[in-house]
Amino acid sequence: MWPYIFQKRLSANKIISRLGIHYVCPWCVVSTTSEEPDGHWSHTPLRQSEPRYICEGCAQDIYGTCNWENFYDNPYHDLVEEAAKKEGLTVLEFRVICLLHQIEIYETDPEWGIPEYLPLKEEILNLITSLKNQ
Ligand SMILES: [Zn+2]
């Protein structure tokens, strides 16, 4: 899996207390807060409607895949295409939002703002530029 920048995960209990109900990941429709109480969840701007939470598996597969330069060679690219379709976005729009979100996390979470991660941030910025020129 290609490295990607991710936010601090939220526990299932946090999701339940925020929403007041158990929650099913809208993308895989497999992960739930009831079956995986220790599961970790992410809040993502890729979701075009509330609630904007996705499971850790989807976050990993989809955020990592969006970072692949040769996106269509990635075995998970169909997952990204399905999620984009569910959100009513083109794959290109979806990838750009995903990459911009990673830059936002990098800029706001001090844990990422160390020299070790700078090359990853630069790769993502280059990818955003090349996608916007498509
Ligand atoms: Zn999921």
Question: Domain segments of the chain: what residues?
Answer: 10-132
Answer yes or no: are the C-beta atoms of 33 and 57 closer than 8 Å: no
The alpha carbon of 115 and the centre of ligand 1 are apart by a number of angstroms equal to: 31
Strand-pairing partners, residue 53, are 43
- Expressed in angstroms and rounded, the spacing between residue 62 Cα and the centre of ligand 1 is 10
What's the gap in Å between 64 CA and the centre of ligand 1?
A: 14
Question: Which amino acid is residue 114, in one-letter code?
Answer: I
Taking alpha carbons only, the member of 7, 29, 33, 9 closest to residue 20 is 33
Ligand 1 midpoint to CA 54 (Å): 5
Residue 114, pLDDT > 90, answer no
Query: Is the pLDDT at 1 greater than 60, yes or no?
Result: no
pLDDT at 2 over 80: no
| Distance from Cα 133 to the centre of ligand 1, integer Å | 30
For the entire predicted model, the pTM comes to: 0.93
pLDDT, mean of residues 23-39: 88
The band of 20, judged by pLDDT with boundaries at 50, 70 and 90, is very high
Q: Which residues contact 49 (CB under 8 A, 6 or more apart)?
A: none
pLDDT at 37: 67
Q: How far is the CA of 109 from the centre of ligand 1 (A)?
A: 23
Query: What is the separation of C-alpha 2 from the centre of its chain, rounded to a whole number of angstroms?
Result: 13
Residue 6 clears pLDDT 70, i.e. is over it = yes
Distance 3 CA to ligand 1 centre (A): 18
Q: What is the overall mean pLDDT for the chain? A: 93
- Does pLDDT of 10 surpass 80? yes
Q: What pLDDT sits at residue 19?
A: 96
Q: How far apart, in whole angstroms, are the C-alpha atoms of residue 120 and residue 24?
A: 31
pLDDT tens by residue, 62-75: 999 999 989 999 99
